[in-house]
Structure 1
Amino acid sequence: MRASRLVSILLLLQTRGRMTAQELADRLEVSVRTIYRDVESLHSAGIPLYGDAGPKGGYQLLDGYRTRLTGLTADEAESLFLAGLPGPAAELGLGAVVTAAQLKLMAALPVELRDRAGRIQERFHLDAPTWYRDQEPVTYLPAVADAVWNERRIQVRYRRWKAPQEVERRLEPYGLVVKAGRWYLVARSEGDVRTYRVSQILDLHPLPERFTRAEGFDLTAYWAGYLAEFEARLRWGEAVARVSPEGLRRLTDLMTPGAVKAAHESAQPPDEEGWIQVTVPIESIGHALGEFLRLGTEAEVLSPAELRDQVGAAAREIAARYR
């Protein structure tokens, strides 16, 4: 355990530069006193590590020193092969690069770790896109990724859902997110950070000027907030329905996770027929109509009245067509 921590200190200083004892202690979840002891041990081992006192002090490796330690544990080696996303990497134009990197890593591993890491690729496969959807064309993804990496502005022609549908935008690309097989660009435009679906970019021109990212911008935090806001915007109201046990089970396949969770949390005790009353959030009457029609005879909408009337009218029209 201590040997692993000493290696971690070296790698942290190598990748981050100067770090204080408190920063190292926080990162490695040990006491500052432990860090002092570890640094003394590294000094004794001949590692060119020095420290400065004061508010701007900290520990730092001598310029040019880089450790050649390659001691991966079995779990670390396996996790590196699990972390590769072949689909997204290929879309970014990095499929061959990922394959080459994995081959080099495999060749560098000891035989026992090589065997265990090799089994990962034989037994686990990640298929990111959801069911029933074809892969989206992302023609401009490599160009977008290049702009993100090099912090260069781009001019795009973009198709959005509201009128006017086609718009011109000058973007400062902050980051890319892949969710359920779809790529999204997070970019600043006209002073605000917004989200754009990469497949909806109709044309793209790289611009020569560079930009500076907003200080402290956190892509992970932004995306979490965006998802929460998006989910809240989608939910226009609520619908109350009776569902059979089979209908309740099928909700998982037919509605969003948020709607399924709400249904289970609001479920009432079964009535004399064994049916269960649930309350689910809905995006709109039209959208909810489609969702409840997919449940067929396993559900009965109770409210709102407009939704109940539309489901009944659709059922009568379907019955008339098959009469």
Structure 2
Amino acid sequence: MKASRLLSLLLLLQTRQRVTTAELAERLEVSRRTILRDVEALQASGVPVYAERGRHGGVVLLPGARLNASHLDPLELDVLALTGLDDRQRASLGLADITTLTERKLDARRRNAPETGGVVPLRSVVVTDNRPWTGEEPGGTEPAALVDALRAGSRLRIEYRRSGERATPTSVVDPYGIASKAGRWYLVADHDGTPRLFALTRLAAFAALPTPAAHRDGVTLDGVWAELRDRVERPGTVAFEVRLRRTRLDLARRILGTRLVDVRDDDDEWSLATVRADHPEAVRQLLQFGDHIEVLAPESARRRVVDLAHDLAARHAASGEGTAGRDLPRSGAGPARTGAPVTRSAEPSA
């Protein structure tokens, strides 16, 4: 611990040369007396550093004294390899402290870098934040808890809750690693030889087994992740033809992604498009667009929207009235297409 602190102290001095003992104590989370003892230890090791007394004193590193910051240990190399992660995600992997030390080494190296002609560093104009806009799901397993078992190559017994279910059945999986996508962490593993994604927010518990993971020959984490990602993002075989208000096109592209295809103008207010899905019941997802959308085809999807709208209206009717949904047509009696889509009195959200 002391060796790590001495290195951190030296790196901080390399970035500024003169730092007050109070600031060093705060940055390194020790007392000012400890900082002075550390300075004495560095002096005994031949480092040209000394403490200045007085109100404006501090710890000073003589000019020309530089640590070779090109030598990074394995954990620091891991931090650099995970450059796509933000600080919160590194912390969830247990890399917060080593990230701070690595950044200090890099800051020390940048101090000696050639001048950039007044152009500010790229890191000053770019920020990385992978958190989703609307927050994260609570619960589940932290990524750092899985790291040791994954690096040991162990088979895992997991308790996992599928989406929309309450039970957490137990399974045995052969993990390749974890992946971060759009602010969410996933366990990437084979289950009975089939690649699967397990959201860590629904991974209730896990245990490392004494047997090693049985990976498919020649298959790596990168390869499995690419296969699963392409499978999820591949357009489905079910196609809904829709009429969508043009002011909602950007929103639809954010929500539906690659599932929204073949967008073309219908008139000044509306666009026509195709929404691809894996199952006919996915038409439910289109209800979140409320009266900004009309499902044109297939006819079975139009009838399903009518049924869903009838059910929503009935359950949202004011107590004592109970008639809001009774006049809506049932399946097979949907209105014919007119110049505007069917308008509901509310905008249900899927």
Shorter-chain TM-score: what band?
0.5 to 0.7
Structure 1 residues 113, 209: closer, same or farther in 2, change over 3 A?
farther
Structure 1 residues 138, 235: closer, same or farther in 2, change over 3 A?
same
Q: Using the alignment, how far apart are the partners of 2:119 and 2:210 within structure 1?
A: 43
Report whether the alignment pairs 1:245 with 2:246. Answer: yes
Kindly provide the amino acid, as one letter, of the partner of residue 94 in structure 1: L
Q: Using the alignment, how far apart are the partners of 1:163 and 1:139 within structure 2?
A: 17
- Stretch of structure 1 that moved more, 98-107 or 300-309: 300-309
- Structure 2, gaps ≥5 residues long: 1-67, 72-79, 318-323, 326-344
Residue 103 of structure 1: how far off its partner (Å): 0.9
SS at match of 1:217: coil
Tell me which residue corresponds to 2:226: 224
Tell me which residue corresponds to 1:101: 102
SS at match of 1:276: strand
Residue 90 of structure 1: how far off its partner (Å): 0.9
Q: Using the alignment, how far apart are the partners of 1:220 and 1:117 within structure 2?
A: 36
Deviations 1:185-229 (A, max 9, x none): 122344444332222221222334444654422322221211222
Structure 1 residues 138, 101: closer, same or farther in 2, change over 3 A?
farther
Report whether the alignment pairs 1:200 with 2:202. Answer: yes
Tell me which residue corresponds to 2:290: 296
Q: Name the TM-score, length of structure 2 as normaliser.
A: 0.57
**Equivalent position to 1:174, from 163, 173, 176:** 176
- RMSD of the TM alignment (CA)? 3.7
Counterparts of residues 232-271 of structure 1 (less than 5 Å):
232=234, 235=236, 237-253=238-254, 255-260=255-260, 262-264=261-263, 267=264, 269-271=265-267
Tell me which residue corresponds to 1:142: 144
**Equivalent position to 2:303, from 283, 295, 309:** 309
Tell me which residue corresponds to 1:130: 132
Counterparts of residues 109-124 of structure 1 (less than 5 Å):
109-112=110-113, 119-124=121-126
Structure 1 residues 294, 98: closer, same or farther in 2, change over 3 A?
same
CA contact (8 A) 1:135 1:181 kept: no
Structure 1 residues 97, 107: closer, same or farther in 2, change over 3 A?
same
Q: Name the TM-score, length of structure 1 as normaliser.
A: 0.61
CA contact (8 A) 1:156 1:203 kept: yes
Q: Using the alignment, how far apart are the partners of 1:237 and 1:216 within structure 2?
A: 34
Counterparts of residues 24-43 of structure 1 (less than 5 Å):
none
Q: Which has the larger radius of gyration?
A: 2
- Structure 1, gaps ≥5 residues long: 1-67, 72-78
Residue 313 of structure 1: how far off its partner (Å): 5.1
Q: Using the alignment, how far apart are the partners of 2:148 and 2:119 within structure 1?
A: 31
Tell me which residue corresponds to 1:86: 87
Residue 82 of structure 1: how far off its partner (Å): 5.8
Residue 244 of structure 1: how far off its partner (Å): 3.0
Structure 1 residues 274, 145: closer, same or farther in 2, change over 3 A?
same
SS at match of 1:109: helix
Deviations 1:119-168 (A, max 9, x none): 44443221213322325444342231111112123322222248894222
Q: Using the alignment, how far apart are the partners of 1:137 and 1:122 within structure 2?
A: 34
SS at match of 2:175: strand
Q: Using the alignment, how far apart are the partners of 1:99 and 1:135 within structure 2?
A: 27
Structure 1 residues 190, 117: closer, same or farther in 2, change over 3 A?
farther
